[in-house]
Structure 1
Amino acid sequence: MSSITIPSQYGYVLATALTSVIYLASLSIKVGSARKAAGVPYPYAYAEKAEAEKDPKKNIFNCTQRAHQNTLEFFPIYITLLLMGGISHPIIATSSGAAWLIGRFIYVSGYTTGQPAKRIPGAAGQLSLLANLAASFHTVYRLLA
């Protein structure tokens, strides 16, 4: 097995990861605000469908909650690929990570309008994961070669 030296540009990867964590925290705050505005008590994860159909605030809460949960579902994959790929390709990983974040911002901004179809343009940001997947494979290959 060979070794890899962490490149000095890896700081950009870590800055992207930190920005991503801050964005994730901001989504938690956004959900809390939407929950309060809709009057959905804890421990309920969502407003009932019948209530959300009648009350736009409850619908917006449900959409905001779902956008946050979707982001949480992808976050482990995203952050793993970002950190692994960045070892061999820090600029590609950082660029791909920034593209994912921009896509997430567009996705969440559209979804939280209460009209789920508006999230679709932001879903294109998921394609940026492919660059970090390739970079991660290259990192593993270099370590195992």
Structure 2
Amino acid sequence: MSSTLIVLPKEFAYPVATAVSSFYLLLWQTIKVSRARKAAKVDYPQVYADKAEAAVNKAAFTFNCTQRAHQNTLEVLPVVLTGTLISGLKYPIAAAALSGAWVLARVVYTIGYSTGDPKKRNMFGAGAVGGLGLIGLIGLSTASVVSLLKAL
């Protein structure tokens, strides 16, 4: 039986730091959703204000937008975190840069979306920057895995 030693590059701390920054992003988004929920008077377990309520109540519509920004982040976060850590094994600086760009874009996305104007979710190109960060992490992860498999 053979054993394998995993040696992490010293720069691996950077992708790990950007991964941890996403925890703070989620915490901040959760607080924003909770405040918007309270202002809209949307009781648990209702995930969103219903369409009729959101049509007549600006606070309910804003809650839906804020909740959607958070939900969208949760939908893609597993890919971002996994991609950051996998690509960070081979390309730690690039992985940290792409992940950091994604997190910062998510902050701008959330600020814009939670204004209650869905079009503002892409202010300053947040959607494009976040999308490029995500696609970059997917590509870089693929390249990392191919490189690791070639070394076998």
TM-score of the aligned structures, taking structure 1 as reference length: 0.93
1:68 partnered with 2:70: yes
Q: Of the two structures, which has the highest relative contact order with CA contacts closer than 8 Å and spacing of 6 or more?
A: 1
**Equivalent residue for 2:131?**
126
Which sits farther off after the overlay, 124-133 or 91-100?
124-133
1:3 to partner: Cα distance: 7.2
**Equivalent residue for 1:45?**
47
Amino acid aligned to 2:126: G
* Aligned residues: CA RMSD: 1.5
C-alpha contact (below 8 Å) 1:111/1:117 kept by paired residues: yes
C-alpha contact (below 8 Å) 1:47/1:62 kept by paired residues: yes
1:106 partnered with 2:99: no
Paired residues, number: 144
1:4 to partner: Cα distance: 5.9
1:138 partnered with 2:140: no
- 5+ residue gaps, structure 1, are none
1:29 to 28, 31, 56: 31
Amino acid aligned to 2:146: Y
* Separation of aligned partners in 2, 1:11 and 1:106: 25
Question: Any idea what the Cα deviations from partners look like across 1:67-124, whole Å, max 9, x if unmatched?
Answer: 1000000101111111100110010001001110111111111110101011123211
Shift in CA distance, 132/99, structure 1 to aligned 2, threshold 3 Å: same
- 5+ residue gaps, structure 2, are none
TM-score of the aligned structures, taking structure 2 as reference length: 0.89
* Separation of aligned partners in 2, 1:66 and 1:106: 14
